[in-house]
Every structure is written in structure tokens, then in C-alpha cells.
Amino acid sequence: MKSRIIELVKKDILIEFRQKHTLYGVLLYIASTIFVIYLSLSENPDVNVWNSLFWVIQLFVCVNAVAKSFLQENRGRMLYFYTIASPVEFITAKLLFNMVLMILMSLISLMLFFLFLGNPTFNFLFFIGISMIGGAGISLVFTLMSAIAAKAQQNAALMAILGFPVILPQLMLLMRLSRAAFGEVFRGGAIIQLIGLITLLDFLVIVLAIVLFPYLWKD
Amino acid sequence: MNKNWWKILSVLLLVYTIIAGFLLDVPRLPILNETIRNLYFHVCMWFGMMILFTVSFVYSIKYLKSFDYRKDIIASSFANVGILFGILGYLTGILWVNVTWITDQSQSLGSVLKEPKLIGAAIALLIYGAYFVLRGSFTDIDKRARISAVYNIFAFAMLFPSIWIIPRIVGSLHPGAPGSDTGNPALDRKDLDGAMRAVFYPAVIGWTLLGVWIAGLKIRIEILKNKNIINE
């Protein structure tokens, strides 16, 4: 089972390198969005605006980066996967791959944010950690949403409609946690509590994805 | 469906709610004053909504276990009535906000509405809106039932824990937020006067039964419409 998951992840990475245009497309999307924000603001935004812009961009980047993970698999290829892997292996591989991809995208967009919009963080490393946790959490939710949207033969629009309300609670927790990295003082234990809650939600998403995906898998 | 006692009970409880709710004496607190009577309507709507969505969630699980199309009809009908209750909850809430939270006329509504409970309720309505958009995008009935059941289960399991957690972490104007002297956001024996509890609990049951009744009618209509595909 483990080896098959690794093989499936390898396959996704390989596809990513063979069809470089999609990867570059997402990178360009990040760069151009942040550049537009940079041009539209006359000076560096203050901490709260910076924070909310960052997370909103993460959301849209995730929709674009993860959307294709199921939409790109055509019918014939899916039929082939049915024969070689179980649904649990397949979704685990997808979750893993998208998580790594989104963490990478988060780091890139964080770098561009620092470059174009200044660095208002008080605790730099802590914010990198938060953006990685956040990117991973968002990608997990949208992986399952992408699987659902692909079944509906719909584009990324449906994925956004399905995913945004579901991701909101997590996003609120993340934005709140981010304020700790901007120097806001929390009462003792609150940060651990928030991190724990976010991790718990991520764990819940993984369990639900593994339980529910077999029902999405075959027609 | 033939046992109608609970429908009669629902009507009796609602008649009692309206009469006792408007006529019985209520304790007067500053700002709240007589508007506390809205408790019998506003809070009951949210209780009703959560219960209806929970029923919808349970039937989605049952659908995935049995693939019985009737279960899907039940799940979607309960979600539908849940949305109705949510909208009514908002409407009754707006009335209450106008006289209690907005104390200064120049205060913008936007500053008041950024409330954890309002956000939670908005998310719930968005999710079930998305649920019906998703349902609308399928032509194949079995596929629609299966995929929307998956979304319903996932969304419910993600949403409701966070609805119950977030108001306890973030500050709120609703009773029960950290910093206020009340405890549990929803059910605390200390929060409510005994006489009011005698009206509030029957009101919750009455409104919820009414919701179940409406959902039941919807289910029966849908089953009749799809008679030819549901095998007895």
C-alpha cells in the first residue's frame, strides 16, 4: 500500500514536470496577482490589510493549483487507476502531493509578499510556519472539493462555491493566529490552543476525505 | 406519517408560545427590556435550523449506506427547510439588533455584524446554498444523490464543530462569549429566568416540530413526483 501511494505521488510529480505549463501558470498567477496588489496600493499596507490580503491570495492560489488535480485526469486514465490502486491509496497520494505543492506555493507567495509589500512580521520564522500549516490545511480541503467538482463536470467556479464556505472557519483561525506573528500578545496558552485546533481540523479533513472518497471514486 | 399527534402538539406548543410569550411577565434588564421576548422566536429558529441540518446530515450518511433514493429526498428536504429557518433566524435577529446592539444611530451596521455567530450562520447558509447548486449541476439522479451526500457530510462535519468552537474563542455580543459573565453560549441554567425557561423550551420543541412537519410535506411531494423511479 505504501509503495503504491509513493508511486502515485511520483506520477503526479512527473506529470507536473512533463506539463510544465500548468505549474508555470500557477506561478505566474501568484506573481501577477501580487504585482497587481503592489501597483494598486500607493504604499505598503498596514499589518491587518497585509494579513488579510495574504490569506485571500492563498485561497485563490489554492483553487488554481489544486483544481487541476482531479480535473486533469481524463476518463481513460481514471479507469486505469481503478485497476491498479484502491480509492484510499489514490486519495492519500493526491492529498500528499497537493499538500506539498501548496506549501511550496505558499512559501513562494510569502516571498513575493515580502518583496513587493514589505515585511510587517514581528516574528518572521513563526509566520513562515503558520503559512505552511495554513497552506497545507487549505490544500487538503480543496483536494476533496476538486474531486467533487470533477464529478459534476464543472470548472473551478463550482470548486470555489463549494470550498469557500467550508474553508472559512479554518481561515478565520489562521488569520487570528497570524496576528501572533505580528507582535500581538495573546493570553497564555491561546497560541497552542489555536495551533491545536487548526491541526485537529486538518486531521478531521484527512479522515473525512479517506472515508468519503470511495463514494466519489466510481460511477 | 399517519400518526398525527405530534402535529397537534406542535400547533398547541406554538399557540402557547405566542400567547405566553407575549402576555406573561418577563424580567427587565437594561437595554434588553421587553425585547427579550424575541428569545422565544429568534433563538428557536437557530435551534430548529441546527436540528434540521443534523437530520439532513444523518440521512446523507444513511443514503451512502443503503443507496435508497428516498433517503436522498429526505436529506435534501430537511436541508431546504433548514435554510428557511436560517433566513427566519436572520430576520428575527435583525429586529433585535436594531433595538439592542445599535445604541448609537450613527453606528454602522457593518461594525455590528462582524459577529462570530452571525459569521457562523452565514457560513452555514452558504454551505447549504452550495449544496443546492451542486445538486443542480447533475442530470444523473443517482450520481447527484451520491455526490451531494458526500458534500453534505463533509461540510457538516467541518462546519458545526467550528460553529460551536469559534464563538467560545472570539469575542461576541451574544451571551456566553469570553469576557462576559455568562457561561455556555447556548444553554446555561444561570442565564435564563425560570419563568422564561417554561416558555422557551416548549417553544424550541414547537418550532422544531413545525420544521419537521414542513419537511415531511416536502418529502411526500417529492416521493410522489418520483414515484416511477422509487421501487417499493
CA distance B168 to A201: 16
Tell me whether residues A165 and B150 touch, CB distance under 8 A.
Answer: no
Whose grid coordinates read 501577477? Answer: A32
- Which helix (H) or strand (E) is A72 found in, with range? none
Question: Residue A144: which of B130, B134, B154 has the nearest Cβ?
Answer: B154
Question: Residue A151: which of B143, B165, B166 has the nearest Cβ?
Answer: B143
Q: Give, in order, the Cα–Cα distances in Å from A213 to each of A92, A207, B132.
A: 10, 10, 20
Do A176 and A108 contact (CB within 8 A), yes or no?
A: no
- Assign 3-class secondary structure to B198-224: HHHHHHHHHHHHHHHHHHHHHHHHHHH
Contact B162/A at CB under 8 A: yes
DSSP secondary structure of A127-192: HHHHHHHHHHHHHHHHHHHHHHHHHTT--HHHHHHHHHHHHHHHHHHHHHHHHHHTTPPPPTTHHH
> B147 to chain A: which residues are within 8 Å by CB?
148, 151-152, 216
Do A65 and A56 contact (CB within 8 A), yes or no?
A: no
* Res B130: pLDDT: 92
State if pTM tops 0.90: no
Cβ partners under 8 Å of residue A194, min gap 6: A173, A176, A177, A180, B169
* Res B152: pLDDT: 93
CA distance A167 to A145: 11
Domain count for chain B, please give it: 1
* Res A207: pLDDT: 93
How far does Cα B142 stand from its chain's mean position? 28
Closest residue, chain B, to A171 (C-alpha): B162
CA distance B188 to B200: 13
* Res A109: pLDDT: 93
Tell me what the pLDDT averaged over chain A comes to. 86
Do A159 and B134 contact (CB within 8 A), yes or no?
A: no
Contact A192/B at CB under 8 A: no
* Res B95: pLDDT: 81
Contact B107/A at CB under 8 A: no
Do B57 and B195 contact (CB within 8 A), yes or no?
A: no
pLDDT above 70: residue A18: yes
Domain membership flag for residue B230: no
> A164 to chain B: which residues are within 8 Å by CB?
126
* Res B180: pLDDT: 46
* Res B185: pLDDT: 46
User: How many C-beta neighbours within 10 Å does residue A107 have?
Assistant: 14
CA distance A63 to A70: 12
CA distance A72 to A133: 26
Which of B119, B154, B165 would best serve as a mutation to test chain A binding (most A beta carbons within 10 A)?
Answer: B154
Sign, CA torsion A85/A88/A92/A95: positive
The stretches of chain B forming alpha helices (DSSP H) are 5-23, 39-66, 69-100, 109-113, 116-136, 141-169, 194-225
A201 vs chain B: nearest CA distance in angstroms?
Answer: 7
* Res B175: pLDDT: 60
Do B167 and B159 contact (CB within 8 A), yes or no?
A: no
Tell me whether residues B157 and A219 touch, CB distance under 8 A.
Answer: no
ipTM for the assembly = 0.87
Quick: pLDDT tens for A152-174. Answer: 876 668 888 888 989 888 888 88
* Interfacial B residues in 1-60 facing A (CB < 8 Å): none
Tell me whether residues B147 and A208 touch, CB distance under 8 A.
Answer: no
Domain membership flag for residue B146: yes
Tell me whether residues B159 and A166 touch, CB distance under 8 A.
Answer: yes
Closest residue, chain A, to B121 (C-alpha): A165
Cβ partners under 8 Å of residue A209, min gap 6: A91, A95, A140, A143, A144, B154
What is the amino acid identity at position B219? I
CA distance B82 to B212: 10
Tell me whether residues A154 and B130 touch, CB distance under 8 A.
Answer: no
Domain membership flag for residue B1: no
Quick: pLDDT tens for A47-99. Answer: 888 998 999 999 999 988 887 777 777 778 878 888 888 888 889 998 999 99
Domain membership flag for residue B231: no
- Which helix (H) or strand (E) is A197 found in, with range? helix A190-217
Contact B141/A at CB under 8 A: no
Domain that residue B116 falls in: 7-225
- Stretches in chain B below the pLDDT threshold 50: 177-186
* CB neighbour class for B173 (10 Å; exposed up to 12, middle 13-18, buried from 19): middle
> B146 to chain A: which residues are within 8 Å by CB?
215-216
Closest residue, chain B, to A151 (C-alpha): B147
